[in-house]
Structure formats: structure tokens, C-alpha cells
């Protein structure tokens, strides 16, 4: 599975982004990406070119190589995209672009490619939020006099609405995520260690052509934290009968596209009354938010519905509530705007048909624990299509 769409898919993307550039008064744009194990910032370059670096994102600069795992797409109105990468010989049949060059220092190479164009107008810079200061200096030295204009959402504004081909890829990814999450929760409920349950879930992902960033799980006294073991995401311990257990795919990555469903249950499958109420109320928050989402609805209005439901059911706070005061986010080639929280989105942001979302809730009750729940869905003009279909309850 290459992840490559039909050529027409990429041409439509380039055209939409050229329109965004023209509307912003940009003559050109340089779009950076970082791969090599750092999946979180490869999305824009992957979207434009289907390129992903195989280099490790952990390599340090040396006399031969600089900025391993970084790449860039140079866009100019009226011109075909140019891809500047950190590898000497990529698989060209997997790329959407024909203008490709490999370099031991892709940052300097990108700057020189831009300078060679003789562009006098404003140039959009996409990726400034993860481009190190050292590499920014290299870029400026290679392209002196450039009128840089930072625009982190130039590509994301186009990415947020998925094409029919992307929706089909998400549906296939949703089927894989469902099978994987089922195995994870069956293990956690059924009496194996966190690590063993995660191993089964990862095995299903890999057999199906997907990968994951992390599968964080927690149980017992650590249920109010994102993961029992922060480094690996899963510990070697076996949940005790009656422990709350939580499993999450954070995230399944299928041909570049991300899904991140999660569930909460009880080891042994027999929750007490308080545990059952906690989990059912958490599910009710997610269901209430999903019901409110429709094209044209503002993100703030929907987030406030989540706030009202959370206030009704919660007693106390947890690590997850503190760091994620939200009810979901856009998803695509990793997390995307909007973030569905009053503190994390713009007042005028709204939902549109064609978005793919992760809708989630974290609910804590002192003396009982923390439940969490997430669904992935596609927003349509007349409905919301759930694409992760693991059981809602595990008792």
C-alpha cells in the first residue's frame, strides 16, 4: 500500500492552495515537513507530495548531514510543485510530484531553490512552529532578501475538508482501528497485562497495513493519568479484577491518516454502580456533543454543550481534564483544527461538511476514577457518520 492517490487528487489540492496563496497576496510558499518517526509534522508535505522521510528524526547534525527527516515543497503560482528532500534516491513511483531533488542539507537546498526563482513578492513560510532556530538561520542565509510571511494554516485550511477519496481511506482505517481497539479492550478486561493487550492491538494494526504512534493504557491507581508508563504507554502489570481500565489508539496511522478512538471498561467486566454511572455519563457527553455537530454550527456553541454536560456529571479533576479542556478535534494527516474547546478555538470557527473529527470526553469523579471515551466520525450535510465502531460498553 503506497498511500498514493490519483494524480487528479493532488492537482486539485495544489489548485486550492494556489487560490489560498493568491487570496493572501503570496507569490510563492515554502512548506516544511518533518518525518522519520516524528509523524506529527509530516502532514503538509505528505498531503502535497505523498513523501515521507525514512530517516530517523533523532539524528544529530554532523559534517555530512544536516536536518535529517526534514523536507519541503516549494509552491509558486503558475508552476508545478518542487519537492526538496533529505534522501538521495526516493521511490519516485510513490510520489505525486515529478520535480524532486535529494540533499544532505534540505534546509539550505530549499532556500537556494527559492532564491533561484528570483521571486520578489511575499513568500509564505509554513512550518515555522517546528523549524529550529538553527535551520531558520540557514534558510535566511540561503535566500537573502526574501519577504517571508508566516502562515501556519495555509495548507491546513485546504486539508480540513476531505475529498471523497480521503473519506474512503478513513473508512478503511476505521475498520482497522475497530479491530485493533477490540483486541486491546478484550485483553484489558480479560485479565492480561497492559503490555500484552497492547501487543495484540499493535499486531492487528501491522497485519492490516497500519502503524501507531503510541497505545496509552492505564488502570487502577493510575486511571486518572494518560498512561501508566509515560515512556512506553503500557506497563507490565495486570489490572486487578474491578479496576477501571482505559485503552486508546493514539493514534492508528493508515497510509498517513490518523484515527484515535478510546474506551473505558472494568477488568473482569463487572463494574459496580458508581463505575457504571461514571462510564455511562462520559459516553453521554460524547453522544451529546456529536448530536450538536452539524454544518454551520460554531465550535464554541458545541463546546459549551460539552461544558454543561461535564459540569453536570463531574466531581473533581484529573490530569487529562487539565491538559485537554476540549471535546475533540479535527483529524486528517494528524490532529487538525478545530479544537473543540472554548479555550482552544476561535469564536467564529464552525463545522463544515467533509470534516473528519475525533469527539472525546474525560470525566472524573473523586473516589471512583476517570473515564474517557472517543469516537471518530465524518461530518456530512445531513448526518454524522461514525467510522470507529468498537462496542461502546464492555459489560
- With H, G, I as helix, E, B as strand and everything else as coil, classify residue 79: coil
Of 114-123, 125-134, 313-322, 338-347, the one with minimum mean pLDDT is 313-322
Q: Average model confidence (pLDDT) for the chain?
A: 95
- With H, G, I as helix, E, B as strand and everything else as coil, classify residue 204: helix
Question: What pLDDT score was predicted for residue 98?
Answer: 96
Q: Is the pTM of this model over 0.85?
A: yes
Cis peptide before 54 (omega within 30 of 0): no
Q: Confidence band (pLDDT; 50, 70, 90) for 195?
A: very high
pLDDT tens profile 196-221: 999 999 999 999 999 998 999 999 99
Question: What pLDDT score was predicted for residue 37?
Answer: 64
Give the fold, CATH level 3, of 164-386. Answer: Creatine Amidinohydrolase (3.90.230)
Tally Cβ neighbours within 10 Å of residue 337. Answer: 20
Question: What pLDDT score was predicted for residue 370?
Answer: 95
Question: What pLDDT score was predicted for residue 1?
Answer: 43
Helix H or strand E segment including 251:
strand 250-254
Question: What pLDDT score was predicted for residue 242?
Answer: 98
What grid cell was written down for 333?
494527516
CATH hierarchy code of domain 7-159: 3.40.350.10
Describe the strand order of the beta sheet including 99-102 as a list of residue ranges: 99-102, 82-85, 70-76, 28-34, 123-126, 148-150
Q: Confidence band (pLDDT; 50, 70, 90) for 58?
A: confident
Give the whole-angstrom CA distance, residue 243 versus residue 23: 55
Of 6-15, 35-44, 338-347, the one with minimum mean pLDDT is 35-44
Length of the chain: 395
Give the whole-angstrom CA distance, residue 80 versus residue 85: 16
CA-based end-to-end distance of the chain: 37
Percent of the chain beyond pLDDT 70? 98
Give the whole-angstrom CA distance, residue 303 versus residue 306: 5
pLDDT tens profile 7-30: 999 999 999 999 999 999 999 999
Question: What pLDDT score was predicted for residue 40?
Answer: 63
Say if residues 160 and 77 touch (Cβ distance below 8 Å).
no
Question: What pLDDT score was predicted for residue 318?
Answer: 78
Q: What's the average model confidence in pLDDT over 136-161? A: 97
Show me where the domains of the chain are located.
7-159, 164-386
Q: What's the average model confidence in pLDDT over 54-62? A: 86
Task: Answer whether residue 74 shows pLDDT above 60.
Answer: yes
pLDDT tens profile 351-360: 999 999 999 9
Amino acid at each position: 500500500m503506497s498511500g498514493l492517490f490519483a494524480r487528479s487528487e493532488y492537482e486539485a489540492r495544489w489548485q486550492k492552495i494556489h487560490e489560498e496563496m493568491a487570496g493572501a497576496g503570496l507569490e510563492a510558499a515554502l512548506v516544511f515537513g518533518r518525518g522519520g518517526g516524528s509523524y506529527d509534522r509530516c502532514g503538509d508535505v505528505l498531503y502535497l507530495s505523498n513523501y515521507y522521510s525514512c530517516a530517523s528524526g533523532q539524528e544529530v547534525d554532523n559534517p555530512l548531514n544536516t536536518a535529517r527527516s526534514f523536507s519541503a515543497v516549494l509552491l509558486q503560482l503558475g508552476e508545478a510543485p518542487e519537492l526538496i528532500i533529505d534522501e538521495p534516491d526516493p521511490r519516485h513511483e510513490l510520489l505525486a510530484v515529478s520535480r524532486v531533488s535529494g540533499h544532505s542539507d534540505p534546509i539550505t537546498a530549499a532556500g537556494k531553490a527559492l532564491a533561484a526563482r528570483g521571486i520578489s513578492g511575499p513568500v509564505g513560510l509554513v512550518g515555522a512552529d517546528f523549524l529550529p532556530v538553527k535551520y531558520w538561520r540557514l534558510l535566511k542565509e540561503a535566500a537573502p532578501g526574501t519577504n517571508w510571511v508566516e502562515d501556519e494554516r495555509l495548507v491546513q485550511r485546504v486539508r480540513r475538508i476531505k475529498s471523497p477519496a480521503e473519506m474512503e481511506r478513513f473508512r478503511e482505517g476505521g475498520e482497522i482501528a475497530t479491530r485493533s481497539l477490540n483486541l486491546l479492550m478484550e485483553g484489558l478486561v480479560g485479565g492480561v497485562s497492559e503490555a500484552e493487550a497492547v501487543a495484540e492491538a499493535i499486531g492487528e494494526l501491522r497485519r492490516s497495513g497500519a502503524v501507531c504512534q503510541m497505545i496509552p493504557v492505564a488502570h487502577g491507581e493510575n486511571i486518572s493519568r494518560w498512561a501508566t508508563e509515560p515512556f512506553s504507554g503500557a506497563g507490565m502489570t495486570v489490572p486487578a479484577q474491578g479496576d477501571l481500565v482505559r485503552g486508546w489508539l493514539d493514534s492508528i496511522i493508515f497510509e498517513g491518516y490518523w484515527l484515535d478512538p478510546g474506551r473505558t471498561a472494568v477488568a473482569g467486566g463487572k463494574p459496580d454502580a458508581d463505575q457504571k454511572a461514571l462510564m455511562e455519563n462520559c459516553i453521554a457527553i460524547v453522544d451529546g456533543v456529536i448530536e450538536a455537530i452539524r454544518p454551520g454550527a460554531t465550535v464554541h456553541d458545541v463546546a459549551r454543550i460539552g461544558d454543561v454536560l461535564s459540569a453536570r456529571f463531574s466531581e473533581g479533576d484529573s490530569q487529562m481534564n487539565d491538559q485537554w479542556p476540549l471535546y475533540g478535534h479535527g483529524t486528517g494527516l494528524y490532529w487538525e483544527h478545530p479544537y473543540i474547546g472554548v479555550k482552544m478555538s476561535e469564536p467564529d470557527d464552525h463545522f463544515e461538511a467533509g470534516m473528519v473529527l475525533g469527539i472525546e470526553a474525560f470525566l472524573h469523579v473523586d473516589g471512583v476514577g476517570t473515564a474517557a471515551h472517543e469516537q471518530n466520525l465524518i461530518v456530512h450535510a445531513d448526518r454524522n457518520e461514525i467510522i470507529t465502531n468498537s462496542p461502546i460498553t464492555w459489560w
